[in-house]
A and B are shown apart, each in its own frame.
Chain A
Amino acid sequence: MLNEQTTQAKGQAIDVPTGDSTRTHAPQAGQPGEPVNRNKEANHELSIRVRDLNLWYGEHQALKNINIDIYQKNVTALIGPSGCGKSTFLRCLNRMNDLIKSVRIQGLVEMDGRDVNETKMDEVALRRRVGMVFQKPNPFPKSIYENIAYAPRMHDLVGRKAEQDELVERALRDAGLWNEVKDKLHQPGTSLSGGQQQRLCIARAIAVQPDVILMDEPTSALDPISTATIEDLMDKLKQQFTIVTVTHNMQQAARVADYTAFFHLGELIEYNDTRVMFSNPHIRKTEDYITGRYG
């Protein structure tokens, strides 16, 4: 039983027909005695479908046969020991790996019925729909206003100045930053505190109205209070956006994520409803990691 699940979770059951997401790729909810989902009205519409994804940095294989379905308007957390490929996987979703010269990718990352790696896919278009927040807050060294307004203007999402003002305000409100910065919109974004900078980066990401927001350890450089603020924010933002976040903080995953994926040495070991994952993981390695026996 345990063995079978391991095989499944690793996605090595290659005979699984694509589309049958309940077995290997979907969270293994519905196992005996487990709640299906924390909230009944949870959205189960597919956002990104990943099949047999392999990735190499030169000779080093960093991702091995990843199969995962990411659901819309949920928070999916990626956990696992450092170096297991969480960031690498995240970057596959908006093709940020293109910027690394030695990278070779194989497999399917599908969004909206399109393979994001196909040559016809414009990575700029992809990144408009899949935004990203990085580990270290990296606001542009421009004003707070300009940090938000730059990308929408570039993508022709706004025309008149008034429209732009409105969008800046909306993005900052959604990121829970408006009250703190409304009087200093024209000061440099870099003058804010670390936590505020990170929320500015979130506001910058949501300003172009993406479908998905990727966050790579967004709170690891922040103090506990800022971290809590951002966690609350993620909870709120998932009503509008699909969020995929990397965290090395188990409690954070338990708190904010609807689904959790556990990576180890480039493999996806287990992907499940967060509650199941933390209360009754199906795989021994997951349990060991979650309970802090290694990692």
Chain B
Amino acid sequence: MSQSFDEITAQLRRRHRRSANLKRMSMGALILAAAFLVVFIGDMLVKGLPAFQQAQIQIEVNYSEQAREIPPAAVGDDVRSLVSRGYLRLIPSRMEENPELLGTQRMEWVIADSTVDQYLKGHNSELRPKEKRVVDRLVEQGRAELRFNTTFFTTGDSRMPEMAGIAAAAMGTVMTLIVTMAVCFPVGVMTAVYLEEFAPDNHLTQIIEININNLAAVPSILFGLLGLAVYINFFGVPRSSPLVGGLTLALMTLPVIIIATRTALRSVPDGIRQAAFGVGCSRWQVVRDHVLPLSLPGILTGSIIGMAQAMGETAPLIIVGMVAFIPDVSASFTNAATVMPAQVFTWAGDPSPAFVEKTAGGILVLLAVLITLNATAVLLRKKFERRW
């Protein structure tokens, strides 16, 4: 008995309805996720973008003999409380470096105190009414304004929000990641090459494989504990240093790189290997001349993603002491350092509005770097995409 069109249509209607429902639900999920993202990034932008600007005021600075001893004496009474104390503190050392300043008096744009900064940005400020009037007058005269905050991008942490910057932490991140990559990339790639191209298919290799996959799922804080126990306590690597941080992150990134490399190696068609063996390549030549070059984009993509993960990692680094107060930018592997997420974490602990702003600003910088890294990975993949 065959069915009539009407009967079939009736059945189909139910099926269509079901698929329409499913479609609506997945659209809803997508919209929800997108909304979260928009709210999150929007909030960060609103809170963080002001951190890239900093109030400066134009005042008369008097490089007198007295100012060398008592720096606040360099500026007039009326504006003294408006100038960043951090800036004032630097006056003697600047006079040291530039002796010709001594005895001169000049109009200069100087970094304002964070209270002035917050006032100019329209936030609640602890300025007293009298000080507010002075600032208002300076604004009218064009002698107080928000300018691009170079300090934020060139210095390290400070107790004074207007002097605090992300640069030391960024440098710490760079140094840490150099260590991580220097360890992970060669070790990870060679391990994957061995497992994929050379290893016999026995129980031992299977156990190793399973363990590598498990390693990728271990909570990162455990790697921090391992790093503390092994690197610091056993091998005596300096605490808080990019060296120990990088080695700790390497434990975490290694399985990511191994797995990415193995996937990339496996995606090279066997025909290529056969062709290479067929013309008389040794196993190593097959890998070096044919398989590795073809899988390099995949390996790089995986490594960049591993690196991005390592870069956002905070917990294991806190355990090895990388949440230090680092005022100076230093490109050293063994000095104490901090990393960007740890810096954000530190700032987030300070409830004052100026530091809340710094926190959001730091997150924006971190996000920008992460997005750049991930975009590079995507571009690499696109660029080297191959048709066989």
B-contacting residues of A (Cβ < 8 Å)? 94, 96, 99, 101, 124-125, 127-128, 131-134, 136, 138-141, 150-151, 154-155, 190, 201, 204-205, 208
Contact = CB atoms under 8 A, between A and B. Distances in A.
A283 B272 CA distance: 40
Nearest to B282: A124
Contact of B279 (A99, A125, A136, A150): A150
A56 B280 CA distance: 24
B279 A141 contact: no
B41 to A, nearest CB: 40
Interface residues of B, number: 22
Given A99-B273, A141-B272, A155-B280, 7 more contacts: A96-B274, A134-B275, A138-B272, A141-B294, A141-B388, A151-B280, A154-B279
A205 B388 CA distance: 20
B186 interface: no
A261 B273 CA distance: 28
A287 B280 CA distance: 38
Name which of B269, B277, B285, B290 has the most chain A CB atoms within 10 A of its CB: B277
Contacts of A94: 278
B285 A140 contact: no
Contacts of B388: 141, 190
Which 8 residue pairs spanning A and B have beta carbons closest together?
A138-B271, A151-B279, A132-B278, A127-B280, A128-B280, A138-B275, A124-B280, A124-B282
Nearest to B274: A134
Name which of B273, B274, B276, B388 has the most chain A CB atoms within 10 A of its CB: B274
Given A101-B200, A141-B388, A150-B289, A127 B279 contact: yes
A277 B275 CA distance: 32
B13 interface: no
B203 interface: no
B280 A208 contact: yes
Contacts of B14: none
Which secondary structure dominates chain B's binding surface?
helix
Contacts of B277: 96, 99, 127
A101 B280 contact: no
A140 B275 contact: yes
Interface string B341-381: 00000000000000000000000000000000000000000
A204 B279 contact: yes
25 contacts: A96-B277, A96-B278, A99-B274, A124-B280, A124-B281, A124-B282, A128-B280, A131-B278, A133-B278, A134-B275, A138-B269, A138-B272, A138-B274, A138-B275, A140-B290, A141-B386, A150-B279, A151-B280, A154-B280, A154-B289, A201-B275, A204-B275, A205-B278, A205-B279, A208-B279
Contacts of A190: 387-388
A92 to B, nearest CB: 14
A124 B279 CA distance: 8
Contacts of A141: 272, 294, 386, 388
Contacts of A155: 280
B201 interface: yes
A94 B278 CA distance: 8
A127 B294 CA distance: 23
Contacts of A136: 271
A131 B386 CA distance: 27
Contacts of B279: 127, 131, 150-151, 154, 204-205, 208
A154 B275 CA distance: 14
Contacts of B281: 124, 151, 154
B268 to A, nearest CB: 9
B153 to A, nearest CB: 43
A201 to B, nearest CB: 7
A190 B272 CA distance: 12
B285 A154 contact: yes
